[in-house]
Amino acid sequence: MNDHDFTLIVSGVDASAQDFEDRFFEAGCDDATLMLVNGLVAVSFTRAAPDFAQALGSALADVLKTGAHIERFEPDFLVSRSEIAERAHLTKAAVTHYVTGERASGFPSPVARITSASPLWDWVEVAEWFAKQKTLPQGELGRARISRALNQYLANHGDITVPMAASLIQNAVAA
């Protein structure tokens, strides 16, 4: 069993309700911290499971038992240079060398905020590139694919069921 850290941003629950915390605890979220961040409810898990897919799948099912609607999953699939460094276990300087082509060629281009000082990359594209270089921590590519699949589904459909979440997770891992 390994611990897996992630956060689900939820809506449809009243954080000021007397039974707010109890609803999550009784639904099986006893390994989560409930937070109100920027007006949003965040359910931050450290879930023990054999793998990330099982940890996330069980957490999604538990959160849905509370009546909450899942809005987003974090960590997101859009990442900055700093987040790339953290997820790939590299220094920010090393990531900059990859981005500029000084360390290796073919690093993915940013996909958002390209003209800003802090562009964003698609973590799946970056993780795939690092996997080809054989420098990515074990399991990170699968986590990246799950993150993108889940957040894209939520952005396009707005709500998710346990069977749909299980299917998305399974397909993302198999990709």
pLDDT tens column, 117-160 = 899 999 999 999 999 988 887 788 898 999 999 999 999 998 89
pLDDT at 79: 95
pLDDT (tens digit per residue) in 51-92? 999 999 999 999 999 999 999 999 888 999 999 999 999 999
Q: Sketch the domain layout of the chain as residue ranges.
A: 2-74+141-174, 78-137
Please count the helices (runs of H) and the strands (runs of E) in the chain: 7, 6
Residue ranges with strand state E in 77-129: 78-79, 121-122
Cα–Cα distance between 88 and 82 in angstroms, integer? 10
Please report the pLDDT score of residue 77 as a whole number. Answer: 87
Q: What type of residue is 132?
A: K
100 to 34, 110, 112, 122: CA distances (angstroms): 40, 12, 17, 17
In this structure, how many other beta carbons lie within 10 angstroms of the beta carbon of residue 58?
Answer: 17
Residue 109 DSSP code: P
CB 154, CB 131: distance < 8 Å: no
Q: Which residues are within 8 A (CB) of 152 and not within 5 positions of it... i.e. 6 or more apart?
A: none
**Distant-in-sequence, close-in-space partners of 149: CB < 8 Å, separation ≥ 6:** 168, 169, 171, 172
pLDDT value of residue 136: 85
What value does the mean pLDDT of the chain take? 93
pLDDT band at residue 50 under the 50/70/90 scheme: very high
pTM of the predicted structure, to 2 decimals: 0.86
Q: Give residue 129's pLDDT.
A: 95
| pLDDT above 90 as % of the chain | 83
In this prediction, residue 175 has a pLDDT band, given cuts at 50, 70 and 90, of: confident
Asked whether the beta carbons of 45 and 32 are under 8 A apart, the reply is yes
Select the more confidently predicted residue: 143 or 31.
31
